[in-house]
Amino acid sequence: MDQPTGKLAPELEKLRREIEAINSEAAVLCDGLSEEELAWRPAPERWSIAENLIHLRATARVFLPSADQAIESARQRGLYGPGPFRPGLMDRIFVWYVEPPPWIKLPAPKPLRPLLEGPAAQALPEFLESQRQMEERLEAANGLDLKKARVVSPLAKWIRMSLLGFFGVFTGHDRRHLYQATQVRLLLDERRLPGKARVGGQEE
């Protein structure tokens, strides 16, 4: 994908920093865990740390082509703009829905359900690679009108949002599942050190 050069728009730079923070949090979350611990489920209906990361990678794989289409369509239509850009009402609703803690829980669509097929330790580097790919889309979107460029969900064509909203939903969804994975990590640490819950070496 061709990428514009130059300084990112403030809205995109903020999202890039959010992705960096998410990546750091994910690395700390997995630090020091064995294969068994990364794959451990607290209950049959709850996902392991690795499965949460696999779900995020699968989500990126399914949705990134829609972002690509939105970016290319905006370029062809000449939808450029300097900003500033603010999320619309529906964008804010979508972001609210995915941000942690989860108030509304629905089953993940079948294409996004995690399947742990290889080593659980691979979940983190593969997730980080999907994050890098999303950063490429931020760069590709630089200079576009982030409100007028529209993304259509590949899972439900009636769900549409601005490109700015899409990026916000993406990082919010990351945080939602890192929050869920953190709850699993706390339970793992309680099993290791009764009476103390530790994440990344820091007592909670």
Instruction: Count Cβ neighbours within 10 Å for each residue of 49-80 and write b for 16 or more, e otherwise.
Output: bbbbbbbbbbbbeebbebbeebbeebbeeebe
- What does the block give as tokens for 143? 């200079």
Range of the domain at 70: 10-192
- Residue 3 above 50 pLDDT? no
Total structural domains within the chain = 1
Is the pLDDT confidence value at 200 over 70? Answer: no
Q: Is residue 3, in this structure, part of any structural domain at all?
A: no
1: in domain: no
Would you say residue 142 lies in a domain? Answer: yes
Give me the CATH number covering residue 126. Answer: 1.20.120.450
Query: Quick check: is 199 in a domain?
Result: no
pLDDT digits (tens, 9 = 90+) for 21-34: 999 999 999 999 99
For residue 50, pLDDT over 80 is answered with yes
Within a domain: 89: yes
* 84 domain-assigned: yes
Mean pLDDT of 113-123: 91
Q: Residue 85: which H helix or E strand, with range?
A: none
Least confident among 3-17, 37-51, 189-203: 189-203
Residue 127, judged by CB atoms within 10 A of its CB (0-12, 13-18, 19+), counts as buried
- Residue 197 pLDDT more than 80? no
Would you say residue 203 lies in a domain? no
Q: Classify the C-alpha dihedral 152-83-80-10 as positive or negative.
A: negative
Question: Average per-residue pLDDT in the chain?
Answer: 90
The whole-model pTM stands at 0.88
Long-range Cβ pairs for the range 194-201 (8 Å, 24+): 199/28, 199/29, 200/28, 200/29, 200/31, 201/31
More confidently predicted of 103 and 10: 10
How many CB atoms are located within 10 Å of the residue 17 CB?
12
Do 1 and 140 contact (CB within 8 A), yes or no? yes
197 is a domain residue: no
According to the model, what pLDDT value does residue 199 have? 53
What average pLDDT score do residues 74-103 get?
92
